[in-house]
Structure 1
């Protein structure tokens, strides 16, 4: 496993990430994976080769040259899909399963919450909501939601 010193990260002609490690070895395609995507999204990034083994470790994205950092941030954003719930518009029922209509950072959507166990507290200020299709939604801080949203959410907590 190599650390980020002297890594060269770029895209191959097919648009996939490739990395050249300090020993001169080129690995492609590689997949960027966050070790702790919620707690430390800009740190602890693993570059995994096609065999599924880690080929490089990036302790902190801030330590990379700007063009390589931008490339990895773009790749991670495309790979991860976790909309942030900004407002609860409506809940069909206070018993599960229930259909939720929410406004997210990616627009309005509707999903089914199968059971109360699909609403998880990650830490005192962060909630993770799993819909019936396995999509994860995040509520960064329930107290920052508007009063009507907090009232709906409180029924499930």
Structure 2
């Protein structure tokens, strides 16, 4: 049975030969295939992070990544980057039609892409003024601040909201 560790770094973290994270707790217990999970990935990505076992049990809680040493932080950030894929929409270039389904061409933090919006219900309002848009393949696109978009993008978006 594992117990949750509130950080001030009472554990060590390293990669095994298979590239998976291994946590060693203060009692010397080894936990293989550890997965970092953000508590609030959209509204507060830098605060609240849990290291969980492969069966979903929390092994360690980290209030902020600033409280762990640099090598541990690097391992956690690498793992998060490989698991999380949520491009942020910076501009809506065009939509194929104002009825759904429609193809959207957008500029994101990961480059320009086109995706299919199946229905207006796939645009979810988050904590104002953020939106989350799911494409037909389940990929999530974030609009952090819809008011910060250019006029053309806001006009297109308003037609779907």
TM-score (norm 2): 0.92
* Aligned partners of 1:83 and 1:137 also within 8 Å: yes
Match of 1:94?
98
Shift of 1:43: 2.0
* Aligned partners of 2:39 and 2:49 also within 8 Å: yes
1:101-134 superposed Cα distances (whole Å, 9 cap, x missing partner): 1111111111111111111110111110011111
- Aligned with 2:51 (options 44, 47, 54): 47
Aligned partners of 1:135 and 1:11: how far apart in 2?
Answer: 28
Q: How many residues align?
A: 157
Q: Which runs of 5+ in 1 are unaligned?
A: none
Aligned partners of 2:57 and 2:131: how far apart in 1?
Answer: 31
Shift of 1:49: 1.3
* Aligned partners of 1:8 and 1:19 also within 8 Å: yes
* Aligned partners of 1:18 and 1:30 also within 8 Å: yes
Shift of 1:50: 2.4
* Aligned partners of 1:120 and 1:129 also within 8 Å: yes
- Aligned with 1:7 (options 6, 11, 18): 11
Runs of 4+ in 1 over 2 A off after TM superposition: none
Shift of 1:23: 1.5
* Aligned partners of 1:42 and 1:62 also within 8 Å: no
Match of 1:106?
110
* Aligned partners of 1:48 and 1:56 also within 8 Å: yes
Aligned partners of 1:85 and 1:120: how far apart in 2?
Answer: 14
Shift of 1:136: 0.3
- Aligned with 1:119 (options 94, 116, 123): 123
User: Cα RMSD between the aligned structures?
Assistant: 1.2
Match of 1:85?
89
